[in-house]
Structure 1
Amino acid sequence: MKNVLIIEDDKLISSLVRFRLNKEGYNVTTVDDGLTGFSAIEQGIHDLIITDVMMPHKDGIEILNYSKKINPKIPVIVLSSLGEEEGTVIKAFELGAADFIPKPFNPNELSVRVKRLMRD
């Protein structure tokens, strides 16, 4: 079973994504801030990371950067609210993000993107 780490401070989004991915057969861990996300990444048991950009303590760009230092092979999907700077998208891809999904997003689309990354 593949392990997915979700780092998202919005409990509704986190629950929605967890429910959807559990239904797809993934083992999902959720944390609600960047600092706890760092600790979860250090445990090194995840096959995919999904992170929000704006969060308490550490933001999604810091999460992405840290994740790539710990294990550059783990794909990271970055979620971001519409209206956040275009520069954030560019920065995320420069740091090695596997995908970028603007909020609000369609759970079916997220599921397809996760499947694609887990196959590679």
Structure 2
Amino acid sequence: MSKILLVEDDEVMPKIVERILHKEDYQIEHVTNGKEAFQRLEDTNYDYDLIITDIMMPYANGFEILSRVKNRKEGKPIPVIIVSNAGNEAMILEGFKLGADDFLKKPVIPGELLIRVKRLLMQYDK
């Protein structure tokens, strides 16, 4: 069972993502801000198979989470999907420059999210 960390401060989005991904038996852990995300990553020693994060959040934004995950030296690489309603070109490019594996604009299309999650998990499972 793949373990996914969802970092999202919106109230509705986590319910949608969990409903989509639980059907495939993914284990979802949800935190509501960057500070909680950093704590969870440290507590679990980065033991996640995928991270889905919003960009605009309190305490630390999605780019900071992305940078920390992608710049760590030890452990397995973890794919990161950025999901945001702030989908201007500059933000998307910044995310990819920092190492994002994918970018989805809100509101997410359930089938598209599921396919992208499966694809990334298969790529990183090699």
TM-score, L = length of structure 2:
0.88
Gaps spanning 5+ residues in structure 2: where? none
Give the partner amino acid of 2:77: K
Return the offset for 1:45.
1.5
1:59 maps to which residue? Answer: 61
What's the CA shift for 1:85?
3.4
Query: For residues 18-56 of structure 1, what are the alpha-carbon distances to aligned partners after superposition, in whole Å with 9 as ceiling and x for unaligned?
Result: 121111110110001111011122221100000000011
Percent of aligned pairs with the same amino acid: 42
Q: Distance in 2 between matches of 1:86 and 1:72?
A: 30
Q: 1:47 pairs with 46, 49, 62, which one?
A: 49
How many residue pairs get matched?
Answer: 119
Match of residue 30 from structure 1: 30
Structural mapping, 1:1-120, within 5 Å: 1-42=1-42, 43=44, 44-70=46-72, 73-82=77-86, 84-120=87-123
- Quick one: which amino acid aligns to residue 62 of structure 1? E
Alpha-carbon RMSD: 1.3
Q: Classify the secondary structure of the residue corresponding to 1:19.
A: helix
4+ residue segments displaced more than 2 Å: 69-72
Q: Normalization by structure 1: what TM-score?
A: 0.93
